[in-house]
Amino acid sequence: MTDHLCKTCGQPLTSDEIALHRKLFGMAAREYLCLDCQAEYLNVERSRLEKTIEMYHRSGICVLFAKWEES
């Protein structure tokens, strides 16, 4: 979790929610939407956004979605 809150509903945001918001709406964003609010705004199912996040994690092509592996 981060110290950021969804600008629409006030829910605490995860780093993945912030990363997806920046990927979809622009890197300069300083306010973010949670997955539910992003899904509503984009008129898509939340599961589609979750699959997009997972795709970025697996692909490793976007540093916004980098995961640290524990040793």
Tell me what pLDDT residue 34 has: 97
Residue 5 lies in a domain: no
The yes-or-no verdict on residue 70 having pLDDT over 90 is: no
The pTM of this model reads: 0.85
Hunting for tokens 């964003």 — which residue is that?
Answer: 29
Structural domain range at position 61 = 15-65
Number of independent structural domains in the chain: 1
Pick the closest to residue 23 from 8, 33, 9, 12 (CA basis): 33
5 secondary structure, DSSP code? B
Strand, helix or coil for residue 51: helix
Q: Is residue 33 part of a domain?
A: yes
Note whether residue 35 is domain-resident: yes
Residue 71 lies in a domain: no
Q: Is residue 3 part of a domain?
A: no
Which two tokens mark 29?
């964003």
Distance, first Cα to last Cα, the chain? 21
Whole-number pLDDT of residue 37: 98
